[in-house]
Structure 1
Amino acid sequence: MRFVFIVQGEGRGHMTQAISLFNILTQKGHEVCCVAVGISKRRKIPDYFFEQIHCPIHPIKSPNFVTDDQQKSILVWQTIIYNLKKIGTYYDSLKKLDQLNTHFKPDVIINFYDMLGGLYNGIYRPEARFVAIGHQYLAFHPNFKFAKGKLQKSLFLLNTRMTSWGAGKVIALSLTPYTPSATPKFLVWPPLLRGEIKEVKSTSHNFYLAYIVNPGYFSEILSEAEKNPDLNIVAFWDQKDMPDPYRPLPNLIFHQINDRLFLEKMAACKGLLTTAGFETICEALYLGKQSMMVPVSGHYEQQCNALDASLAGAGILSQNFDLHKLHHYLATNTHKNQDGVKFKAWQHTLDKKINFFLDSLEDSGDSPANPFPVHKKQKNQ
């Protein structure tokens, strides 16, 4: 079969998922014709994405977040207003998606949680079958537990529905197995982890790893290093105007985002300090590492991620980075190794699920469906 990917470029996890599925599909003899990836002024598409996706890559301007001056908090209403003003630009992006679809004539379009991907399928109704993949779609499962905030929840669900508009299949990526849905179009898979994660050996050296997507969290990591001079921190950030590496303190060093070096350090660290990005938490748990998860302020999706991950045994939820708290947690948590083993067992079911998915695409002619509903939780659950 021939595939076209549409990938949200705002989160690095979506790009990692796309790389993983690209490799899986091509190894099974399928063709990924091209990848459209969302771009914005806030984020630079990392070099590793271009290096590991071996097909034409087409950047498209896509909706993105607006942050405060410290680049720490997501400003919800400013984000909505900003993106409404860019409707003309996004309309041009939709036309570009249609040109790609017309040119490559894929059998299947896979959307990695990009809003324009869902809008394109809902408005243009291409002949290709449309599949939506992302951990956010777990919100469609009746047993999913949401973070607090009614308005934020409503906006999150609206965005999630829009990205999956008309999807013939919706695939939710999850840290743990969920009971099968009564709707065959809704599937739950283990995370799409990059293949390199299975090739590294997990050890435990005398340092903690920190990953901060928004550079505004630099001051918090610096403060934690100052308060805990006997604890070492190796941190990664996306601050292109700073030296690489940058060592502000004897026990603290910052590296620019580098996927290979990051994976090497993750495999060797004692524990992880991170915002609540899904993919990073999954990789840490696969390597048997526990995380302290600090959701980006104003980012409701990350609040849900952190809650879900803490319930799955991936670590602890916190409102701020607290190295001493993580240090104590690791010293007293007697179940952390068992949680990692359970996650690996779940992860190893992925290939079987993908084979079943591909067979179902080849055997049936999925037609565009209505946007996926949110199931109502039963009273006894």
Structure 2
Amino acid sequence: MDIDGTSLRNLEIEKSLEDEIFTIIQTGSLTAGKNADKAANSTEDQLVDTTEPLQINSKRSRRLQNKQRRRQEKASPRIQNFLELPTELLQEILGYLRPSDVFSISQLNRATNNYVQKNEKAIARDIIGRRYWVLSHCFPLPKFLKEVDEQSRVALSHPRREKMTEVHKKPYQHIKPPDSRYICTCSSCLLNWNNLNICLDLAHWQWNLNHKEPIPVLPRGSNPAWNADLIGKHATIVEKAMSSQLTYAAILEKHLNTITGTLLRQTRFPTRNPMHRHNKAVPPPKAVHPILLYRISETDAAKEDDEYLERQGKESYELPFSRDNYYNNSMLAYLPNRRWSKERHEWLYYASGGHERDLEWTRKWFLPASTPSSAYESTCKTI
């Protein structure tokens, strides 16, 4: 039998395939079985991590730890005292308080007292601008004589002028006259001095006015020791206010409390209607209720500022020459140095610049420009 080349090659391939052995593996079931075995082994033999950080105890490690702690403290400082706040922030906080509150805070310790004294002008400026803007324009401060120029001093001490101003130097029973050696005696400064002393004296007698207790009457020409001490204390406070803005703000706070209490007196201290002998109530007198003035309410009083005084009200032109004037309706809200403009419907304040105008007028009339320099120098020497 003849066999060609192609058939011979096929026989060889079949023979080689018969010699090889093939193995069939099911991959899916085998993989699942291996995972199950691993899960069983992991549950049976769990590894426990028993490693612990090494206790580093060396000088170098302590230095590094201290350095890192200092960096963290600098990065996030913890404020333990309100004095550690930024100066601008602390000043803004104190500017919302009342002057009496600032005085109370300054008595906490020496550091707080030093801070308040150092920043007194800025704190008082914020308080006055926020709470007592109206009162600061009605009650300006008098000036020290050392702030006045030399020519104005000579003119103020002129004998003819001193004779003209004797009426202002006569002491009132409720006001101590200013010391002309230290305080300017121009007309504006004298008026400002009297007004601030009246604020303190009026605040002193509020209890009597609220409870309808008569104020002690002083015989004409007499000055008891208790009255001399009282007006002396008031004069000392005003002198301190001339150099301490916070004390000046405290005077304005007192006067605001006086005005608010006076306007709300009939609601806070209602009068009892007297009974007739036949047990019939006597009708109250027909009078204008003072609460209508400035349309004040308890909400305005709770704000503790003088914003409600910007409303239309009564003008104050008369100076109370004695304590008897405290009972008048004109003293319900004593606010001098301003007038109501009907055209503009707002208050106009005219106290600003009065000191300079008075000095100019005094120099014009009591120190003529034609006075020779020698005569001026001789006048200075006599003074």
Shorter-chain TM-score bucket reads under 0.3
**Higher share in helix:** 2
When normalised by structure 1's length, the TM-score is 0.21
When normalised by structure 2's length, the TM-score is 0.21
Whose relative contact order is higher, 1 or 2, with alpha carbons under 8 Å and at least 6 apart?
Answer: 2
- Structure whose CA Rg is larger: 2
